[in-house]
A and B are shown apart, each in its own frame.
Chain A
Amino acid sequence: MVAFINMISAWAIPVLIAFIPLYAFTKKVPVYESFVDGAKEGFQTAIQIIPNLVGMMVGISIFRASGALDFFVGWTGPFLQQLGVPSEILPLGLLRPLTGTGSLAFATDLISVYGPDSMIGRMASTIQGSTDTTLYVLTVYLGAVGIRNGRYALKVGLLSDAVGFAAAIAVCLLFFG
């Protein structure tokens, strides 16, 4: 199983990079033109969502700067440590759904302090890589079509982030432990 996962790790990148343009080519899709069209749309969307992004970023900054994040980590840390979750990794789990750049900086810091091949470094890599920034995705997607009521989307996104966080730690303990 470990050998199989290592094989996927080694082959995933070259196979995918070769596969996408080749598949498009066999389907007679104009590869480069499609790319340019997509990139053009992305630029317009970027301008449209600026107000939503500003609002979200202010909220997240306040959450971090006010000490609410640290308070939550201090409160839940000892309990999670009993389950094998290193307390160093906990802030990353909380930051991950909120801010992509913030959590990436935090993950990079963990990797540099503990080493990329340490358990914490691998957990940080897996957590950071395995999910997207929920709040950012919701802001961008809903903002792009002018929706203000996301209904249960946020709840589902954050709950699945929690599941992903637990899964990342469990898988790392299983394969690198």
Chain B
Amino acid sequence: MQELQTLNPDKTAASPAMCTLLALNTASITLIPTTLIAIRMNYQSANPTDIVGTTLMATAVATLAAIVMDRWYRRKFMRSRPKKPPVHAGPVSSSQSELKG
């Protein structure tokens, strides 16, 4: 995140690259849900690790969804603003022409 911040033109707002990192991180591919396995052991589960497989699948689906949605919103975000932001708020038409281009 700190490395990405050095590349970020606007230091107070997240760059698209940061949003992608965050999307992946919040969905977080979980390889081993250790805490849950420990809790299941505590409550005398017959097979404490049998949720590893389902967790892997659920986390894979969530991560895939995060990637797709990040792409979607990134594209929307990129289109919504002109390449060179004007110093003061520009007329609506300038961003409209950007939409077509």
Contacts and interface: CB of A to CB of B under 8 A. Distances in A.
Given A141-B21, A142-B14, A129 B55 contact: yes
Given A6-B50, A145-B5, A156 B66 contact: yes
A171 B36 contact: no
Interface SS of chain B? helix
B26 A8 contact: no
Contacts of A159: 65, 69
B36 A107 contact: yes
Interface in A154-177: 155-157, 159-161, 163-164, 167-168, 171-172, 175-176
B28 A132 contact: yes
Contacts of B25: 132, 137, 141
B99 interface: no
A127 B73 CA distance: 25
Contact of B26 (A9, A117, A160, A172): A160
Interface of B: 1-2, 4-5, 11-14, 16, 18-19, 21-23, 25-28, 30-37, 39-40, 43-59, 61-63, 65-66, 69-70, 73-74, 76-77
A104 B42 CA distance: 14
Contact of B2 (A107, A122, A145): A145
A151 interface: yes
Nearest to B74: A152
Contacts of B45: 116-117, 121
A87 interface: no
* Interface size classification for chain A: 35 or more
Given A157-B66, A164-B59, A172 B54 contact: yes
B22 to A, nearest CB: 4
B23 to A, nearest CB: 5
Nearest to B46: A117
Given A122-B50, A125-B33, A130 B73 contact: no
Given A8-B53, A150-B14, A171-B58, A141 B66 contact: no
Contacts of A164: 27, 58-59, 61-62, 65
B28 A126 contact: no
17 contacts: A5-B56, A8-B52, A8-B56, A116-B40, A125-B40, A125-B51, A126-B51, A129-B59, A132-B25, A145-B4, A151-B13, A151-B19, A153-B22, A156-B22, A157-B66, A164-B59, A164-B61
